[in-house]
């Protein structure tokens, strides 16, 4: 029984959010995975990563909008500094999303040289 539990633990682990450094994240963006900016529409208009969808984590529609995404897709999330996107990613995991990657340092890091 103990062996079975250990096997189940390793096989049926809950998905985790992986925080990627900028170069790794850039490679994932280049591969064309779904990119989600979880900042407000105002922040999004001021600048965003090309091709990103704007799904504001603070909006009442956040859950409705993420439920329209495919749970098996690889998703890349980011916000301004990394806090909101990590929260959004954890919410997404709780809704059954499997492969979520967060940009370390958020959009501020993306824009820095």
Which residues neighbour 51 within 8 Å (Cβ) at sequence distance 6 or greater? 29, 35
Residues 111, 109: Cα–Cα separation, whole Å: 5
Look at phi and psi of residue 47 and say left if phi exceeds 0, alpha if psi is from -120 to 50, else beta. Answer: left
79 annotated active-site: yes
The candidate with the shortest Cα–Cα distance to 25, out of 62, 44, 52, is 52
Q: Which is the catalytic residue, given 79, 86, 89, 103? A: 79
Which active-site residues does the annotation give? 79
């Amino acid at each position: 029984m103990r062996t079975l539990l250990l096997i189940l633990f390793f096989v049926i682990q809950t998905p985790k959010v992986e925080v990627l450094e900028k170069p790794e994240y850039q490679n994932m963006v280049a591969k064309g995975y779904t990119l989600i900016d979880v900042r407000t529409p105002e922040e999004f208009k001021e600048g965003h990563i090309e091709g990103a969808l704007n799904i504001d984590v603070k909006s009442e529609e956040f859950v409705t909008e993420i439920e329209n995404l495919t749970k098996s897709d690889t998703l890349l999330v980011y916000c301004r500094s990394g806090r909101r996107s990590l929260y959004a990613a954890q919410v997404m995991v709780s809704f059954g999303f499997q492969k979520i990657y967060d940009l370390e340092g958020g959009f501020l890091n993306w824009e820095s040289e």
